[in-house]
Amino acid sequence: MKYEIYQLKEDTMEQVKLRFMASDQAAALGGIHRENYQRIYIGEAKAGTDIQRALDSIYTTFNVHRPKEFTGHSLSVSDVVHLGDEWWYCDPYGWKKLDGEEWGQILRHYTKAEWRKIPESYKGRWEASPYNLERVKRGELPAEYIGKRTTIVNDEHRGTVLITEGAHFVIDD
């Protein structure tokens, strides 16, 4: 089973503040948002292993037997593991499964009429530019964002943020 390890970027003070923070504390500060993380490792878990054992094995590997090509810090609180189709947050006393809302997904539902009212200057699209494709390779931008629409919104916890269709908002029929 494939897994990916995500660790917080350190581009903003918000990201730095969330490092090594328990999930309930992070939620109180506005949540655990995918755009604050970057993928730092891709691996393969032992086939036939249940989720809990796989997570525990990954934790041990990245704290005791870290692979040479691993460039992140030891797997720790606030890191996220994508295992199979599920997302897991490393909490102080175990793993917390993240749902779409906690992982910063589908924050808003727009009707087509509401979408048309948003000024065009607030809208954009993740283009398949060399810069964005390089960001995908580095794990800084999810590959599924390429080609998706974006818009700018004001979030009560995070201020002005860029959100992406399918990950943060949907346009209902």
The pLDDT value recorded for residue 154 is 74
Strand duo 123-125 + 86-91: pairing? unpaired
Q: Using DSSP, state whether 134 is helix, strand or coil.
A: helix
Six-digit token pair at 112?
Answer: 């087509």
The pLDDT value recorded for residue 59 is 93
Distance separating alpha carbons of residues 53 and 128, to the nearest angstrom: 38
The pLDDT value recorded for residue 107 is 58
Give the number of C-alpha atoms closer than 13 A to the C-alpha of residue 124, restricted to the C-beta side: 14
Distance separating alpha carbons of residues 139 and 124, to the nearest angstrom: 21
Distance of CA 150 to the CA centre of its chain: 16
The pLDDT value recorded for residue 157 is 58
The pLDDT value recorded for residue 9 is 84
Q: Give residue 91's identity as a one-letter amino acid code.
A: D
Neighbours of 104 (CB within 10 A): 22
The pLDDT value recorded for residue 155 is 65
* DSSP summary character for residue 122: G
Three-state helix/strand/coil letters over 29-69: CCCCCHHHEEEEEEEECCCCCCHHHHHHHHHHHHHHCCCCC
Distance separating alpha carbons of residues 117 and 31, to the nearest angstrom: 28
The DSSP bridge partners found for residue 172 are: 111
* DSSP summary character for residue 9: -
Query: From first to last of its 173 residues, what are the pLDDT tens digits of the chain?
Result: 889 999 988 766 767 778 888 888 887 777 787 778 888 898 988 877 788 899 999 999 999 989 999 988 899 999 999 888 788 999 998 999 887 655 655 456 788 888 889 888 888 898 999 998 998 888 778 888 899 888 887 766 566 777 888 777 777 76
Global pTM exceeds 0.75: no
The pLDDT value recorded for residue 95 is 93
